[in-house]
Homo-oligomer: A and B are copies of this chain.
Amino acid sequence: MSKLIQQLTIIGVGLIGGSLARALKQAEVCGEIVGCGRNEAELKKAVELGVIDRYALDQAEAVRGADMVLLAVPLGAMRAVMTSIAPAIGKNTILTDVGSAKGSVVDDAKAVFGEMPRNLVPGHPIAGTEKSGVEASFATLYQGRKVILTPLENGDEAALKTVAAMWRHAGADVVEMSVEHHDRVLAATSHLPHVLAYALVDSLARMDETGEVFKYAAGGFRDFTRIASSDAQMWHDICLANRHEVLNMLGRFREDLDALTSAFETADGEAILKCFSRAKRARDHFSKIMAE
């Protein structure tokens, strides 16, 4: 019987790539899943765990024969991987990715392929845990989660449909938006908060030579700074890849913070209370519709 995907090659078999592979195995929609990565021990483990069927260390070899290639590598590695696989992928091979910024992936593809590959479908699953590696992967990671696809102008319709179908088989809720819109929205709700959390913790740590400040930190601070425990290299890649939108958001936020600072300077309690109250109302309202 014909499968949705005959050969899926996943480059980067960690939490994200591995969880998708597990879900697709359960859904029985792939003929064969081939893994690729730099760490052979991890790939062997992925085969043992039944996450992938086989692996190749060489990227060009791994994508040979694939009708779908999923790039699940850090954004900073995207261009190098595209360069390696470009000579080996077929004319009809669908190329998709899971990067947290989409403009940089599109730029990488343009630079590597000369023109935009019609079969490229940039994607971003809004899911993850603080863990990483194939051992942390699980089949239900995408259940009920949003996956944003950012189809390109003149992109292939059939390729888009296949990528969307793949994510739906993994249990995801697939939505489409433009590359620019994705990068603006994610700069607001994800990249800027990470920048602020890292900046605050770094700021406090550097003024806190005795480690005393953190001793009196309570649950609120713990929650507020949890994202500063995220992988620093990965978030460096993401924020730098989307730096124009991150800068745009930093600029807006800084204007608002300046206004609030002025209110503190003049002890303008009314302005402070207005800001806090609006924020509380928005947070309470939106806490119902926020993704898990």
Contact = CB atoms under 8 A, between A and B. Distances in A.
A224 interface: yes
Nearest to A242: B264
Contacts of A204: 188-189, 282
A286 B291 CA distance: 28
A92 interface: no
Contacts of A205: 278-279, 282, 286
Interface in A145-203: 146, 148, 185-186, 188-190, 192-203
Interface in A263-292: 264-265, 267, 269, 272-273, 275-280, 282-287, 289-292
Contacts of A220: 190, 193-194, 226-227, 230
Contact of A207 (B226, B252, B277): B252
A113 interface: no
By secondary structure, the A interface counts as helix
Given A185-B213, A282-B201, A292 B190 contact: no
A223 to B, nearest CB: 5
A289 B200 contact: no
A30 interface: no
Interface residues of A, number: 87
Interface stretch (A17-25, A78-86, A231-239): A231-239
A1 B200 CA distance: 52
Identify which of A215, A229, A275, A276 gathers the most chain B CB atoms within 10 Å of its CB: A276
A246 B276 CA distance: 15
B233 A273 contact: yes
Q: How many copies does the complex hold?
A: 2
B199 A287 contact: no
Interface stretch (A50-58, A64-72, A133-141, A253-261): A253-261
A222 to B, nearest CB: 6
A217 interface: yes
Identify which of A212, A264, A279 gathers the most chain B CB atoms within 10 Å of its CB: A279
B226 A223 contact: yes
A280 B224 contact: no
25 contacts: A185-B213, A189-B213, A189-B218, A198-B276, A198-B280, A199-B257, A199-B275, A202-B278, A202-B279, A211-B286, A215-B291, A217-B286, A217-B290, A219-B291, A222-B290, A223-B227, A224-B226, A228-B279, A232-B280, A233-B277, A236-B269, A240-B269, A240-B272, A243-B264, A250-B261
Give the 4 A-B CB pairs with smallest separation, nearest first. Answer: A205-B282, A214-B286, A232-B276, A202-B279
